[in-house]
Amino acid sequence: MVCKQNPPNTEILPCRTCTTSWHIPCLPILPTTFLDWDCPDCCLPQQNNHDPPLAENLISSIQAIQSDISLTEIEKAIKCQKLVGGSSKPHSDDNKSNGVLDIFDGTLNCSFCMQLPERPITTPCGHNFCLRCFEKWIGKGKHVCAKCRSTIPSKIASHPRINSQLAIAIRLAKLARSEGIRENINTATKNAHCFMHNDNRPNTAFTTERAKKAGKANACCGKIFVTIPSDHFGPILAENDPIRNRGVVVGDTWSDRMECRQWGAHFPHVAGIAGQSNHGSQSVALSGGYIDDEDHGEWFLYTGSGGRDLSGNKRINKQHSFDQIFDYMNEALRISCLKGYPVRVVRSHKAKCSFYAPEVGVRYDGIYRIEKCWRKNGIHGHKVCRYLFVRCDNEPAPWTSDLYGDRPRPLPKIKELKNAFDITERKGVPSWDYDVRVVY
């Protein structure tokens, strides 16, 4: 009150329009009946040649709300309260958007901290949590959703996966809110992790603005020139080469593994084995390898993957720290052995201990078959998976002057098979065999 008193409710007269409370003894003119009384603030004279005062804007907004027949009394009271409390501005457009964050009406907030989730985890019931909040909740032994009490599956509780789509949406919304929607559209589109169609890729490996290291350490692969899928078995024929119409022939050499991938000879950039554990292996790369690998050109002994600690800063660790088993890529090679699938082989100049490696780059050396596979105790004391590859290609090898390709030959004698175990050998007819129509 202006009089700085705290009068009882019987001496207070509220305005029906602006809800202002008036002290009856302090009114300049006492009304004869309170039904016909008008609030002094609501009866300010309209002045010409001047902008209307803020009070008149507030009054006109409240009167507009009161005259809106589409609103209920509760909705009118809520809108008037927002206007008087300052949380809403008079004459504002209700349909005007406040930004991209308007789509986050609180339903996506973390159920614990009630903020937009940081590294969001989404449970099957549809509620979201911050990764840290989720770990604290699960750490207390509670496997139910904090919001709806639905059971959280044990797989999600033990190994939660971050909802990357929600994280990207929140990041784009924050960028648009802070920098302006119109200005940020180009920036967000430029920095988004968008899929680049193969036809739009350059002909060579390239780096983007997001690359942290120079050279090809963070490079993206260029355009794939052949039309084979990543799980294609066997040679790459002319029908799969729409550019040169010749396919990939034995002896083709590329500058690095990136370029080798573009022609489909071996798709992985770094891994030495390409394949699937339930489907088989399509190709292998001889590059560096293990100490006990042997390369005799027409046949070689190959060691499987795994068994080395690559955590932390040990990616170049050459020492075995645990046993290899037939799983993942090792199982893919074993399936190719059992089925007799064709395996493309490329050799890299990094294979220092091989007489058959190229001097520079990566070379395609043709089709091989895996005749046997087994496990043995390796040089470092741990069990390793071993594979016997034998060349089976109708084109002559790059290191020979023969006019024809491989001929059927007896398998080489492998000394280490005496102490081997878990031996796998194909019993039936292989899926890929020598072409008997070729006259030698």
Rounded CA gap, 271 and 332, in Å? 14
What tens digit of pLDDT does each residue of 387-421 get?
Answer: 999 999 988 888 887 878 888 889 999 999 999 99
Distances in Å between the Cα of 217 and the Cα atoms of 205, 312, 324 are 11, 18, 28
* Angle between the N-to-C axes of helices 181-191 and 164-179, in degrees from 0 to 180, rounded to the nearest 10: 140
Region class of 328: left (phi > 0), else alpha (psi between -120 and 50), else beta: left
CA distance 394 to 436: 10
Is residue 193 predicted with pLDDT exceeding 50?
Answer: no
The Cα 304–Cα 370 span in angstroms is 12
Per-residue pLDDT of 99-110, as tens digits, reads 445 556 677 888
Tokens 């492998």: give the residue. Answer: 414
Please tell me the predicted confidence (pLDDT) of residue 388. Answer: 96
Give the residue from 136, 133, 137, 131 showing the smallest Cα distance to 160: 131
Q: What is the mean pLDDT of residues 129-139?
A: 89
Using the structure block, give the residue that is written with the tokens 């007489």: 355
What is the Cα–Cα distance from 250 to 368, expressed in whole angstroms? 12
Of the chain, the percentage scoring pLDDT greater than 70 comes to 73
What pLDDT is recorded for position 83?
74
Q: What are phi and psi of 65, to 5 degrees?
A: -70, -45
| Mean pLDDT across 192-197 | 48
Cα 66 → chain centroid? 52
In whole angstroms, give the CA distance from residue 2 to residue 23.
Answer: 9
Is the separation of the CB atoms in 210 and 355 below 8 Å?
no
For residues 96 and 88, give the distance between their C-alpha atoms in angstroms, rounded to a whole number. Answer: 13
Rounded to two decimals, the pTM is 0.55
Give the model's pLDDT for residue 99.
47
What are 346's strand-pairing partners?
285, 364
Average pLDDT over residues 209-216: 62
Residues 208 and 214: their CA atoms lie apart, in Å, by 11
- Give the mean model confidence (pLDDT) for residues 26-46: 66
Helix (H) or strand (E) holding 366: strand 362-377
Beta strands in 233-336, from DSSP E residues, in sequence order: 253-254, 273-276, 280-286, 294-295, 299-303
Average pLDDT of the chain?
79
- Please report the pLDDT score of residue 437 as a whole number: 63
Residue type at 253 in one-letter notation: T
Going from the N-terminus, what domains does the chain have, and what CATH number goes with each?
A: 44-94 (no CATH), 97-194 (3.30.40.10), 238-310+317-425 (2.30.280.10)
The pairing of strands 343-348 and 280-286 is parallel
Three-state DSSP class for 228? coil
Kindly state the tokens that stand for 72.
């209920």
Query: What confidence category does residue 236 fall into, taking pLDDT thresholds of 50, 70 and 90?
Result: very high
Q: Is 86 left (phi over 0), alpha (psi -120 to 50) or beta?
A: left
Work out the pLDDT band at 364, boundaries 50, 70, 90: very high
Cα–Cα distance for residue pair 306/348, rounded to 1 Å: 20
Q: Give the chain's radius of gyration (CA, Å).
A: 38
Q: Which of 64-73, 80-89, 349-358 has the lowest mean pLDDT?
A: 80-89
Could you tell me the two tokens for 232? 């294609």
User: What letter would DSSP give residue 17?
Assistant: T
Amino acid at 50: H
Q: How far, in Å, are 294, 304, 369, 391, 392 from residue 411 at the CA level?
A: 15, 20, 11, 11, 12
Q: Which of 94-103, 137-146, 218-227, 344-353 has the lowest mean pLDDT?
A: 94-103
- Contacts of residue 388, defined as CB under 8 A and 6 or more positions apart, other chains included, come to 299, 301, 302, 370, 371, 372, 373, 411, 412, 414
Give pLDDT, residue 55. Answer: 56
pLDDT score of 353:
76
Position 93 scores a pLDDT of: 44
